[in-house]
Amino acid sequence: MSPTETCDTDVATDTVGEPPTRARLAAPVAALTVLATATLAACGGGGSSEAPATLPSSPPTSPPAEAQPTAAEASRFLAQASMGANRTHIARVQAIGYAAWLDEQFNLPASSSRWDWLVAQGYYADSTNVNTQAGFDSCAWAHLLSAPDTLRERVTLALSELFVVSVSSINASWKSFGGAAFADLLQANAFGNFRALLQKVSTSVQMGAYLTFLNSKKADPVSGALPDENYARELMQLFTIGLQALELDGTPKLVGGKPIDTYALGDITGLARVFTGWTYDFGGAAVPKATPDYHRRPMIQNARNHETGAKTFLGTTIPAGTPGEASMTLALDHIYSHPNLGPFVCRQLIQRLITSNPSPAYVARVVTVFNDDGSATAPALARRGNLRAVLRALLLDPEARSGAAAATGSGKLREPMLRFSAWARAYSVSSPSNAWKVGDTTNPATALGQSPLRSATVFNFFRPGYVPPNTEIAAASWVAPEFQITNESSVIGYLNFMKRAVAGTIGDLTPDYSSLMPLADDAAALLAEINLVLAAGALPTETTLKDLIAAVQTMAKGDDTARRNRIYAAVLLVLAAPEFIVQK
């Protein structure tokens, strides 16, 4: 069965609430076909490739004085800086401007923790949850879909795709509380200092259990056993400095036309010696794992298992006899000072929020702020890695805010979780029972192909340098990370999942379409409003929007049941439109 046929029998029939004729469905199915064709053409049927990007030229480095944003500009900004927005959020940005909105979000108290949600819902008191993941998906979705500190949630999600931990692969009991504790850790440090975040991630039980250095022991000359190398390798490769030496602007440093490796096998084995002796802090509990509380405590040192010999890596040596805690501090300080850190981390943050292919000049401007936030009175170490300053620079940069950013080669494919949350936040989705039973949405055939903290590997759902093979994207030497999880199944799975969501049939998720009901009898007004809120007005009037209006105009109107059906169809069609799927 073709993707179009699947949409015909599933999406369209259930959305409008009655068996539709092919004539009435011609335009909606055409719109869904455009999505399938556009995304799959770029996807190229799977595969993996990495390539440097040839990038569009950068706009001027000096932004103009901030003028009051239009509604479309405010909507576009919120698509980058939030988990999704409704008319009230758009009006707020218009009223106070981008910079003041960021200040509001930075100063907004963090929403209550996922851990506390699990406790309040009774998961803590139920000992049968010791070996399950019960409750994790619900607490994760509750935050992503409804927490008021929306910028913090967006950054937390981005950080979870840099410092990857998968809740299903945490090799410990009380997995749901472990996942909640790790997400809460990222949330608490989303606007803080990167060095502090690095310390907390490296001492978290979840990372220790996931990348298997928890209870790693010093080398045993008798058995030949060596310290676990998992975290040492991934800390360098995936979390901090990457595989190749970078210029300030994120482009590879070259010697004789060839890239330079950042580390070698000896650096991995030397750094692995640092991450020995780390174990659980059970707080003196008589039955250590009777409760999940140990997940909220940093790991502690068991000195007997720590490697006391010298540890050499990345051009430095930690002297023999240095205790475990001090060894980790020295190791992380050295990695934190590495010139690759800023370019490697900042380019990925730009990719997660703004565009897959930032210009080198854009990267360099953000990295400059990462390296020194300009706080004249602060010590040098405190001026480096200020994530609040980095986010401000990233989101207010001319390349993010300028209309030129909508040019060919800019933007990004919205990852499925962000498409879902954009809809949920646009229409103030609630869960009357507070159960938030969205579930694990990683199945690409029936759901989103992606779910919070459920990456299949430590490499995240997609690689930052992924190039869809045999596509125009590859021919242009661009990257398109999110296309790594885009295929025939995921395109149709997303549409059918969103069809159920839009109609309010996922758990007790309840969207509020009251703002759309007065517009529902006027197809043009209805779709113009949805286009603005969900897609920042990106659907072109004379092509995509015209076709969608024609489709909705064929549907019955005049009573509330018909109006709701029109709303369901119109919202779904915008969610399926390429101009929504691709965030410009």
Q: Is residue 267 situated within a structural domain?
A: yes
Distance CA(101)–CA(93), nearest Å, equals: 6
Q: 273: closest CA among 221, 234, 242, 312? A: 312
List beta partners, residue 413: 582
Are 463 and 48 within 8 A, CB to CB?
Answer: yes
Q: Are residues 420 and 272 in the same domain?
A: no
Decide: pTM greater than 0.85. yes
Q: Are residues 322 and 421 in the same domain?
A: no
Q: Are residues 430 and 300 in the same domain?
A: no
Asked which of 304, 321, 336 is the last residue of a domain, the reply is 336
Q: Is residue 302 situated within a structural domain?
A: yes
List beta partners, residue 258: 255
- Give the model's pLDDT for residue 44: 38
Helix or strand run (H / E) with residue 582: strand 582-583
Q: Are residues 561 and 436 in the same domain?
A: yes
* DSSP calls for 228-265: --HHHHHIIIIIIS-SB-B-TTSPBPEETTEE-BS--H
Q: Are residues 428 and 550 in the same domain?
A: yes
Q: Are residues 545 and 445 in the same domain?
A: yes
Give the structural domain span for 256: 230-336
Q: Are residues 540 and 440 in the same domain?
A: yes
Asked which of 336, 363, 382 is the last residue of a domain, the reply is 336
Q: Are residues 540 and 442 in the same domain?
A: yes
Angle at 253 between CA 251 and CA 255, to 5 degrees: 145
**Start-to-end C-alpha separation, the chain:** 32
Q: Are residues 516 and 428 in the same domain?
A: yes
- Give the model's pLDDT for residue 406: 53
SS3 letters across 303-370? HHHCCCCCEEECCEEECCCCCHHHHHHHHHHHHHCCCCHHHHHHHHHHHHHCCCCCCHHHHHHHHHHH
**Domain total in the chain:** 2
Q: Is residue 378 situated within a structural domain?
A: no
Q: Is residue 12 situated within a structural domain?
A: yes
Q: Are residues 532 and 427 in the same domain?
A: yes
Q: Are residues 294 and 425 in the same domain?
A: no
Q: Are residues 421 and 520 in the same domain?
A: yes
Q: Half-sphere exposure (CA, 13 Å, Cβ side) for 398?
A: 15
Q: Is residue 361 situated within a structural domain?
A: no
- Give the model's pLDDT for residue 2: 32
Q: What is the pLDDT of residues 183-229, one digit of tens each?
A: 999 999 999 999 999 999 999 999 999 999 999 999 999 999 999 99
Q: Is residue 330 situated within a structural domain?
A: yes
- Give the model's pLDDT for residue 376: 75
Q: What is the pLDDT of residues 290-299, one digit of tens each?
A: 999 999 999 9
Asked which of 336, 365, 390 is the last residue of a domain, the reply is 336
CA 197 to each of CA 203, 213, 276: distance values in angstroms, whole numbers, following the listed order: 10, 18, 20
- Give the model's pLDDT for residue 203: 98
Q: Is residue 248 situated within a structural domain?
A: yes
Q: Phi first, then psi: what are they for 305, rounded to 5°?
A: -100, -5
**Which residues of the chain are under the pLDDT cut of 50?**
1-49, 51-63, 405
Q: Is residue 482 situated within a structural domain?
A: no
